[in-house]
Amino acid sequence: MMWYDGWGWGNWFAMALFMVLFWVLVIAGVVVLVRYLTGSRHGHQGGAFSSSGEPGWGNRRAEDLLAERFARGEIEEDEYKRRLALLREHR
């Protein structure tokens, strides 16, 4: 019994390429499915309203970022208080 059926190197190369492409698509599909099912929405903040429609969500996020910068020592206490007051004025 002969296993060689006349396939050339080009056909073997194409088959290997399609196998790699197949697995890349399968893995990408699994990643997309997991992100969809876990609700991961990085980069989609939604503007100044929360998902429940509450106004001021953007201000709370800004206050959190300001507090983080203050905690890391990037800004001084006076600047932190001034910016926090400015954010709270515009609620």
pLDDT in tens, 29-79: 999 999 888 875 555 444 444 444 445 455 678 889 999 999 999 999 999
pLDDT at 57: 52
Tokens of 77: 């206490």
pLDDT at 10: 77
Q: What is the DSSP string of 55-80?
A: BTHHHHHHHHHHHHHHHHTSS-HHHH
Cα–Cα distance measured from residue 89 to residue 91, given in angstroms and rounded to the nearest whole number: 6
Confidence of residue 12 (pLDDT cuts 50, 70, 90): confident
CB 87 within 8 A of CB 66: yes
Q: Is the pLDDT of residue 8 over 80?
A: no
Strands (E), 23-77: none
pLDDT at 48: 45
